[in-house]
Amino acid sequence: MTKREDLKVYRNEDVLEIIAAIPHGHQHTGFLIRFKDQEILLQEATVAALVRAYVLVSLHPLRRIDPKE
């Protein structure tokens, strides 16, 4: 696990641009995310895993926190 002081949290307003494209000579989509302080390039498989995790948690009825409890 990453130490708390090493953890970077990016808010939506920190994102300058997101570019999704299939690079020449490749078959899969790459995602370039430009932040105020750095750029990261994600492979399609990484984004697919993030989307699957998001959908699993957001749509699962037992993974929601009940505010009444």
Per residue in 5-62, pLDDT (tens digit) is 888 899 999 999 999 999 999 999 999 999 999 999 999 999 999 999 899 888 886 7
User: For the chain, what is the domain count?
Assistant: 1
pLDDT for 41 equals 97
Report whether pLDDT(64) > 90: no
In a domain, 4, yes or no: no
In a domain, 42, yes or no: yes
Task: Give 2's pLDDT tier (boundaries 50, 70, 90).
Answer: low
Choose among 42, 32, 36: nearest CA to 13: 36
In a domain, 46, yes or no: yes
In a domain, 40, yes or no: yes
Q: How far is CA 34 from CA 9, 46, 60, 67, in A?
A: 14, 17, 31, 36
In a domain, 16, yes or no: yes
Dist. CA 23–CA 25, nearest whole Å: 6
pTM of the model: 0.74
In a domain, 28, yes or no: yes
In a domain, 44, yes or no: yes
Residue 39 neighbours by CB under 8 Å, 6+ apart: 32, 33
Range of the domain at 34: 12-63
